Amino acid sequence: MKSLKEFRPLIKLIKEEKFKLIFASMLIFISGISEIFVGYLNGAAVEAITNLELKTAVTYLVIYLVISLTLGGIILHIANSILYKIESSLTRKLGFFTYKKALDLPAVAFEQKSSGEIINRITNDADSLSFAFGRLLNVVSSLIGSLIIIVYIFSNSWIIGLELSFFILLLFLILKKYNPLLKNIHKERKREQDKFTSLVTESIRGIREIKTLGIKGELINDIKCIIRCIYDKSSKEIDIQKEFNIYTRTLKSFMEVGVFITCIILIYHAQITLTFFIAMTYYIYRYLWLIEDINDLTQTYQKLVVSIGRVNEILENKLYEDESFGKVELKKVKGIIEFKNVTFSYPNEDVTLRNFNLKIEPNKKIAIVGKSGQGKSTLFNLMTRIFDPCQGEILLDGINIKDLTEEQLRLHISVIRQDPFIFNRTIRENFKLINAKISLKKIREYTRLAYLDDYIMTLPKKYDTLIGEGGVNLSGGQKQRLSVARTLSKKSQVILFDEATSALDNSSQEYVKKAIDNLVKDHTVVIVAHRLSTIVDADIIYVVDEGKIVASGKHDELLKTSKIYQTLYQTESLNS
């Protein structure tokens, strides 16, 4: 019953196709009934021939041909076509909903799960349901026909009916023993496959670092170990399948010989007709084929159960709850940000912020500085609700940001990070992700504000230039300025710069600094900075230490009043 519960997402989707499924099931039922007639007509034709009734035999064979072509052929083909379309639709929807649900997961999910594992669940696991579900439909259709046939067999001979039931029971016991073994080993192999996908993804994305760090050999050794482990798990799975196949083949042989011997004995005692015996030679192979199908399905079904279970952990929030948002919408945003008694700690870590209080006014250049690991970037993670505070609240214009709709929160607060993510699309398409209707004229307005338009216009394809994965075709400064321009197209009132210039050269830093200065008069601009040279002209600088504000003021004031700020500034000067 537990495994059946795993199929709830599929069942929900099946309900949308229920009329097609009912119609296809009716066709399969009709086709299943035809199996009785096919076996019977074969037997009747043979018995007619033995009685030298040639005309009768030919009549039976013609009827057999008509039924076989219509009920067993055309109708079954129509039913299977409908079922495969349903299967394709279910798989497509399941993949879409898994992807959509993954985007709703909280940030902690992506910290605790590798990218390879999440990618596999969205792609491989959802896609593998297609093949497994198709096999399942085939066996179900065969099973329906076989159930109808066994009713017919019992009506002719309860002895043969019981004998067949006995062999089916033995098959069930074999399945009960081997199903858990196959499921567990497949689950273990999936885990190793997640590691493989994750390492491959990291290697492709970080190929430049791999080459410059000279760690190609170490990663090759890691991938060898993972592949060896996958091979070992696969070999063990094959061994279990071989053992399972030996038992089912032996069962098939005993079933075939046993039923035929019983039929011969019953004919000898005149308890069954020759027609029924000949029909049984057809029916028995029908059951042997069914056992073969069940044998294949058993292996496929366990993979299906594992895949649907992994997908369900995302679809049904078995590991993490979805992000939740409120219903409040702000018509006109001033951009006042306020932290009230905020306490926060990352999962399984010490407290990062404790009773933190801060009010940020708009139209000013606000900077937050401090030693590494003191909670500066955490403030941005909380403002954007990547994480939520354990206690206290964060307000935007007096409204708790938890009460805002997701659209409002994302619209009004934007963050530009040290290493911004640029999509592997053209420059124009990166802007169209923000606003599908944005014109090239508007895009150029924003890139001019970010001091990037002149460079883009020198490119052969200008704004239709493909950037490359992660913006690989742009320099660090160009990525930062493109990120600024892209953020401007959102028209967010609050713009957060998280170490936005720490990795840039002086020239690129100056461009980004100018872009920031252009924003101050119309936005709330908050900068987390390591390089104090970028924020010496800030209107207010807040010094954070051990999760609290320990000093605030302008650059010159802090040099006189804050030892921590003095140390940070002197350290940077010495490094310079």
Ranges of each domain in the chain: 2-181+236-315, 337-421+493-575
Q: Which of 85-89, 318-322, 474-478 shows the lowest per-residue confidence on average (mean pLDDT)?
A: 318-322
Dihedrals φ, ψ of 334, to 5°?
A: -85, -40
Cα–Cα distance measured from residue 87 to residue 227, given in angstroms and rounded to the nearest whole number? 32
> In 10 A of CB 457, how many CB atoms?
11
Taking only the tens place, the pLDDT of each residue in 458-489 is 888 889 988 876 666 777 778 878 888 888 88
- With a cut of 60, say whether residue 150 has pLDDT above it: yes
Q: Which residue has the higher pLDDT, 239 or 91?
A: 239
> In 10 A of CB 140, how many CB atoms?
15
- With a cut of 80, say whether residue 2 has pLDDT above it: no
- With a cut of 50, say whether residue 359 has pLDDT above it: yes
Nearest residue to 198 (alpha-carbon basis) of 115, 124, 123:
115
Is residue 310 very low, low, confident or very high in pLDDT (cuts 50, 70, 90)?
confident
DSSP 404: B
DSSP 321: P
Per residue, the 3-state secondary structure of 47-75, as one string, reads: HHHHCCCHHHHHHHHHHHHHHHHHHHHHH
Q: Which residue has the higher pLDDT, 366 or 500?
A: 366
Helix axes 76-103, 8-15, angle to 10 degrees: 120
In this structure, are strands 494-498 and 337-345 parallel, antiparallel, or unpaired? unpaired
Q: Which residue has the higher pLDDT, 502 or 226?
A: 226
Per-residue pLDDT, 1: 45
**11-25, 310-324, 446-460: range with highest mean pLDDT:** 446-460
Cα–Cα distance measured from residue 231 to residue 558, given in angstroms and rounded to the nearest whole number? 62
SS3 302: helix
Per-residue pLDDT, 416: 81
Instruction: Give the full edge-to-edge strand order of the sheet including 337-345.
Output: 351-360, 337-345, 391-396, 399-400
Is residue 445 very low, low, confident or very high in pLDDT (cuts 50, 70, 90)?
confident
SS3 352: strand
- With a cut of 60, say whether residue 130 has pLDDT above it: no
Q: Using CA atoms in the order 312, 316, 322, 325, what is the torsion angle rounded to 10 degrees?
A: 140
Cα–Cα distance measured from residue 463 to residue 509, given in angstroms and rounded to the nearest whole number? 23
- Give the percent of the chain with pLDDT over 70: 80
Per residue, the 3-state secondary structure of 456-478, as one string, reads: HCCCCCHHHCECCHHHCCCCHHH
Per-residue pLDDT, 390: 86
- With a cut of 60, say whether residue 311 has pLDDT above it: yes
Mean pLDDT across 539-543: 88
Whole-Å CA distances, 518 to 448, 477, 522, 545 = 11, 17, 8, 30
Nearest residue to 258 (alpha-carbon basis) of 142, 147, 163, 152:
163
Angle at CA of residue 357, ends 352 and 358, nearest 5°: 110
Phi-psi sector, 192: left (phi>0), alpha (psi -120 to 50), beta: alpha
Cα–Cα distance measured from residue 49 to residue 55, given in angstroms and rounded to the nearest whole number? 9
Asked if 27 and 140 count as a contact pair (C-beta separation under 8 A), the reply is: no
Dihedrals φ, ψ of 43, to 5°?
A: -65, -45
Whole-Å CA distances, 257 to 36, 167, 248, 569 = 21, 12, 14, 91
Q: What is the pTM of this model?
A: 0.63
- With a cut of 70, say whether residue 297 has pLDDT above it: no
DSSP 322: P
Per-residue pLDDT, 411: 84
Phi-psi sector, 466: left (phi>0), alpha (psi -120 to 50), beta: beta
Taking only the tens place, the pLDDT of each residue in 400-432 is 988 888 888 888 888 887 777 778 788 898 888
Per-residue pLDDT, 90: 75
**Mean pLDDT over the full length of the chain:** 78
Cα–Cα distance measured from residue 164 to residue 254, given in angstroms and rounded to the nearest whole number? 11
Nearest residue to 514 (alpha-carbon basis) of 528, 534, 532:
534
Amino acid letter, residue 515: A
Superfamily (CATH) of domain 2-181+236-315: ABC transporter type 1, transmembrane domain (1.20.1560.10)
Helix axes 158-205, 126-156, angle to 10 degrees: 180
Per-residue pLDDT, 224: 86
Mean pLDDT across 250-260: 83
Taking only the tens place, the pLDDT of each residue in 169-224 is 888 788 788 877 877 887 788 778 777 877 777 776 666 556 655 667 777 888 88
Strand partners, 359: 338
Q: Which of 49-58, 290-299, 502-511 shows the lowest per-residue confidence on average (mean pLDDT)?
A: 502-511
Dihedrals φ, ψ of 357, to 5°?
A: -130, 135
CATH of 337-421+493-575, one of 3.90.190.20, 2.60.120.10, 3.40.50.720, 3.40.50.300: 3.40.50.300
